[in-house]
Amino acid sequence: MVGPIRSGRFIDGQLVHGYKAIFAFGSAYISEWDRFVKSDYANRMVVEGSSTPLTRFESNGANFLVANTATLTTWATANGVNGRQNLDGMAFNSPAPAAGKPVTQVFVRFSGVVYNRWDYDPATGRYLRFADTIDDYENNNQQYTQLTDRLTNQPIAFDNLVVLYANYELYSQGIYDIQLIGSGAGVAFRDGQAWQVNWQRGTNDVVSLTNLDGTPFPFKPGTTWFEVIGGSSTLQQDPQIWRFTHFMP
């Protein structure tokens, strides 16, 4: 059981294209919905309905939209959209590259109601995610709780953390079309260190990273979480603690 599943956003279409993915989501604003249903991945869309793998889960009064991954696999096979895809474009290497800067804690602040923190855990070599618990409009009273997997009660942890700078294009009031295509700057974190990188992505490609000299930057084998912030975002570097603050575009 995977959830809660939220509504679709414009950037989801870019991710579906790049990763040749099945797109399960909980409806969308009309402008976003129109783009989705007219796309070449419309046959890979999964939305709530009596015959789809999405269902409602009641938990302590909450009304979550969730997916059953077993029935999602069955649905994808029956609809002819299940199969191994070409996802070339990322480089991997177990040893960390040279010349990284030690960083043990990373903050990413999107707004007073959406902010998070990543702590590097030397024991596991992974990054642990902490999410906001209260609104903090004045940026002086952040409070966090560690995210855990509801099924296993284990911490949400990733081998790589990557912060990408991308332009947020205003589509209409309150709706942004994030331009995760072309190239831009970013910061990659792995093994408790940070590297300045550049990112690239074609229309149908995954996100790849290069060092500033153009050579491929190697991800650590495992899982990766991408934070996509505005192109005008700022970075404050304290000793081993880096703070990103989101600004648009």
Model pLDDT for residues 69-91, shown as the tens digit of each residue: 899 999 999 999 888 899 999 99
Could you tell me if residue 152 is inside a domain?
Answer: yes
135 and 17 inside one domain: no
Last residue in a domain, options 78, 106, 131: 78
Q: Are residues 124 and 201 in the same domain?
A: yes
Answer whether residue 50 shows pLDDT above 80: no
pLDDT band for 234, please (50, 70, 90 cuts): very high
| Residue 1 in domain | no
Position 124 in a domain? yes
pLDDT band per the 50, 70, 90 thresholds, residue 151: confident
Q: Stretch 28-51: mean pLDDT, rounded?
A: 91
Q: Is residue 3 part of a domain?
A: no
Is 74 in the same domain as 147? no
By CB neighbour count within 10 A (0-12 exposed, 13-18 middle, 19+ buried), where does 30 fall?
exposed
CB count in 10 Å sphere of residue 31: 12
Q: What local confidence, expressed as pLDDT, does residue 150 receive?
A: 81
User: Is the pLDDT confidence value at 155 over 80?
Assistant: yes
Q: In the chain, what percentage of residues exceed pLDDT 90? A: 78
Each residue's pLDDT tens digit, 163-200: 999 999 988 887 899 999 999 999 999 999 999 999 99
Cα distance between residue 15 and residue 75, in whole Å: 20
What pLDDT score does 51 carry? 79
C-alpha gyration radius of the chain: 19
Contact criterion met (CB below 8 Å) for 221 and 159: yes
Which CATH number does the domain housing residue 190 bear? 3.50.90.10
| pLDDT > 70: percent of the chain | 99
In the prediction, which pLDDT does 82 show?
A: 87
pLDDT at 173: 80
Q: How far apart are CA 190 and CA 100, in angstroms?
A: 9
Tokens of 66: 């969730």
- Residues 46 and 105 reside in one and the same domain: no
Residue 83 lies in a domain: no
Check whether residue 38 and residue 157 sit in a common domain.
Answer: no
pLDDT at 175: 86
61 confidence band (pLDDT: 50, 70, 90): low
Tokens 């304290």 appear where? 238
pLDDT value of residue 33: 94
Q: HSE-up of 120 (CA within 13 Å, CB side)?
A: 18
Q: Domains in the chain: how many in total?
A: 2
Of 78, 108, 124, the residue at which a domain comes to its end is: 78
Nearest to 92 by CA among 225, 218, 207, 187: 218
Are the beta carbons of 69 and 54 closer than 8 angstroms? no
The domain boundary, picked from 78, 101, 130, lies at: 78
Strands 193-201 and 182-190: antiparallel
- Binned at pLDDT 50, 70 and 90, residue 48 comes out as confident
For residue 32, is it within any domain? yes
Instruction: Note whether 231 and 153 are same-domain residues.
Output: yes
Pair 197, 109 in one domain:
yes
pTM: 0.91
Same domain, 101 and 217: yes
Please check whether residues 165 and 120 belong to one and the same domain: yes
* 165 within a domain of the structure (yes/no): yes
Is residue 85 one of the residues assigned to a domain? no
| 44 lies in the same domain as 160 | no
Q: Could you tell me if 229 and 159 lie in one domain?
A: yes
Name which of 168, 31, 160 is nearest 103 in CA terms.
160
In terms of domains, do 108 and 145 share one?
yes
- Please report where in the chains the tokens 């970013």 appear, as a residue: 186
Q: Is the pLDDT of residue 118 over 80?
A: yes
Residue 123 confidence (pLDDT) above 90: yes
d(Cα 129, Cα 145) in Å, to the nearest integer?
9
* Structural domain that includes position 193: 91-245
What whole-number distance in Å separates Cα of residue 5 and Cα of residue 24?
8
> How high is the mean pLDDT of the chain?
93
